[in-house]
Structure 1
Amino acid sequence: MRIRGVLHTPSSLATTIPQPDLIPLIRQRRSAQAFSGKTSTLPRDTFYAMLSALVPASNPVPWDVWTLPIRLHPILFVHRVEGLPAGLYVLPRHEAAETALHSAMNPDFVWQTPEDCPAELPLFHLLEADARKAARTLSCHQDIASTSSFSLGMLAEFDAGLAQGAPVYRHLYWEAGLIGQVLYLQAEAAGVRGTGIGCFFDDSVHEVLGLQDTQFQSLYHFTVGNPAIDTRLEMLPPYSHLPKERQPCPQ
Structure 2
Amino acid sequence: MRAPNHRHEISTTENAQLKDLFLAIYFNDLEQVKAFHKKHPLLYKKKRGFYLYLDLPLDLVQLTLLNQKVWGKDDWRKEILPFVRRQRAKTEKMMAHWENEFKEEELVLDLQYNLYSDFFFCNEPEDYDEVVTDPMKYFLEKGFRKIDLQLYNRVDCLDFEAVKALLEKGAQTKIDFYGDGNSSAYRRALDEISYLATCEVFPEFQYFEKEGYNQDFHLAYLAGHLIGLVAHEEMYELIKPNLEEHEYKERD
Q: Which has the higher contact order (CA 8 A, sep 6+)?
A: 1
Same fold, TM-score > 0.5, yes or no: no
Q: TM-score range by the shorter chain?
A: under 0.3
User: TM-score scaled by structure 1?
Assistant: 0.27
Q: Which has the larger radius of gyration?
A: 2
Structure with the bigger percentage of helix: 2
